[in-house]
Amino acid sequence: MQETTWLREPIVVVLGHVDHGKTSLLDKMRGTIVAQREAGGITQHIGASLFPYDAVVEACRRLLGEVRAQIRLPGLLFIDTPGHAAFANLRKRGGSVADMAILVVDVMQGVQEQTVESIQLLRSRRTPFVVALNKIDMIPGWRPVPDAPLKEALARQDRRVVEELETRTYMLVGELSKLGFTADLYTRITDFRRTLAIVPVSAKTGEGIPDLLLVILGLAQTFMAKQLTVSEDRFEGVVLEIVEEEGLGATANVVVSSGVLSEGDTIAAIGRRGPVVTKVRALLMPKPLDEMRDPRDRFRRVRSVRASSGVKVVAEGLEEVFPGSPLVLVREESQLSEIERMLEEELAEFRITTDKVGLVVKADTIGSLEAIVNFLRERNIPIRLADIGKVSKRDVVEAEVVRRKDPYLGNILAFNVDVDKEIELEANSKGVRIFKGTVLFRLVDEYVGWVEERRREEEEAEFGKLVKPGKVKFLEGFVFRRSDPAIFGVEVLAGEIAPGVPLVNSSGRHVGEIHQIQESGRPISRATVGMKVAISIRGVTVGRQVKEGEVLYVAVPERDARLLLSKFSSRLDEGSRRTLDELVSIMRSQNPLWAR
């Protein structure tokens, strides 16, 4: 029997910084295509929007004549839930279920924090993408040409407006270059394999959207024909999210990227207590957008779906399934043990339990857990425990065990999960810090920033306790008392002096300890380079242990000198470093191993 194959729709996700227009862009594309109802309309799937061939062709009609492009793909499947969470769950071993992505960048703001985070995610999943340079209608003086291709829109603008768009495009090219990408305006690119395409658009007026759709289609059918060719015999799917539906219980929103899924099929997925094996009771599709006004009848039942598709699966036991889990079709009972072993192995790659000193990591889904574990591994940050679910008392205990050995690693990262107040109070009482966040890179940056700040504070405290280098000259003619205590004037030549620090002469002989420093008859806590002050030293006599005109050094203790040389040299000014070197030479003339 001959294998049935077909060319499926590319699966496209939308990513970018908050407020740069991800949802608006999807809404505008949907609206543009819904407007072409005679061309086939739009089908709304679960967590996805299917743009059929006829509707896409109609939306790109004005451009297609110019570029003489022939569209062979059946359409496009956009994942409706823009953002990091949806993309993290569109996972498969070694990459992403998403074939392509649109990175949305605000033309007025350029690359922002979450833009970089999105690029990191796309790079880690090896997902090709194009840049939608959004909000071109916000450029001062822009004249909207609704839904027009970019060339037509630009032809209606003043020269200054076009130049401003060029300038901002070049600024983005520069920012992307710093992130390791060669990028350019899509109309100037000759090799799309080496150059990242930038497509200026407006999610508000629709300008440039035909160009964006055509670029995505062109790249997909030029470079992805092999991966978009799927067969009935090979099923691939992923659980995007688990949703509680009234009257149905826990349902799974699934993206099917290969093969066919039918009612009555046996499926397997990764669950909280191991693999979940269940039978598909029903497959539900939302009605097309223009039929969804009546909330009492939102879904229609279908017998089967084929790739690419988004579908709601109704089956028993789905409440146990983790979002981000692969969905596996069990064709024969004899396959079951092998499938269960494969699913357990896949989860074990990211579900970590070790005895080593490292962070405790919790995430809400397999996709989130995979993303944060890989991100921490790339930064060589050790992990003691990584698991899915809320932060528990056991997690706090694990972190406390680590904290006794390493206070920086004895902490918890909670990615997209809730933390009960009771757990947080217990963690605080044990000195365990819980870092919470919904944006992966910001969460890790917050932890790394906290570690750096703590290290800085500890270093500052340690440096503050050290005796610092100092050098003074006994000023001739400024002897105020010869002994008991000796009081005389000095000029600070380098570093600093303070009460309580001992002094040595240029031979390394101990002179005495500074008892008090006075300036203009008033006691002061320290004297720095350039100051002329009076110092008092008990137990010495001017002319015997100390002489007018000689140079004296602060007798930095050997341990302090060693730390200043090895750890804090960069924190000393040039004069202090030179003075420390002089002191070291003096002391090593008596003991070659001093402060080594």
Report which secondary-structure segment, H or E, holds 236.
Answer: strand 236-245
* In contact, 347 and 389? CB cutoff 8 Å: no
**Quick one: CA torsion of 283, 284, 288, 290, rounded to 10 degrees?**
170
Residue whose tokens read 């000095």: 490
Give the ranges where 349-439 is alpha helix by DSSP (H): 366-378, 393-405, 421-429
Residue whose tokens read 């002469």: 505
Question: Of 271, 269, 289, whose CA–CA distance to 48 is shortest?
Answer: 289
- Which amino acid, one-letter code, is at 291? E
SS3 readout for 29-93: HHHHHHCCHHHCCCEEECCEEEEEHHHHHHHCHHHHHHHCCCCCCCEEEEECCCCHHHHHHCEEC
- Strand 183-185 and strand 196-200: the pairing is parallel
Question: Of 259, 282, 273, whose CA–CA distance to 329 is shortest?
Answer: 259
The span from the CA of 151 to the CA of 450, in Å, is 49
Strand order in the sheet with 129-134: 43-45, 48-52, 75-79, 11-16, 100-106, 129-134, 196-200, 183-185
Angle made by CA atoms 277, 280, 286, in degrees to the nearest 5: 135
The span from the CA of 299 to the CA of 152, in Å, is 40
Residues in the chain, how many?
596
What SS3 class is residue 100?
strand
* In contact, 377 and 430? CB cutoff 8 Å: no
45 is catalytic: no
Question: Of 71, 62, 77, whose CA–CA distance to 11 is shortest?
Answer: 77
Burial class, 158, CB count within 10 angstroms (exposed 0-12 / middle 13-18 / buried 19+): exposed
The span from the CA of 267 to the CA of 252, in Å, is 12
Per DSSP, what are the bridge partners of residue 285? 300
* In contact, 372 and 363? CB cutoff 8 Å: yes
Query: Any residues with CB less than 8 A from the CB of 458 and at least 6 apart, and which?
Result: none
Question: Of 551, 550, 524, whose CA–CA distance to 535 is shortest?
Answer: 524
Question: Of 387, 356, 355, whose CA–CA distance to 372 is shortest?
Answer: 387
- Strand 129-134 and strand 196-200: the pairing is parallel
Q: How far is CA 502 from CA 89, 243, 262, 272, 509, in A?
A: 65, 73, 87, 66, 11
Residue whose tokens read 């027009």: 148
Q: Which of 17, 84, 510, 515 is catalytic?
A: 84
Catalytic residues: 84
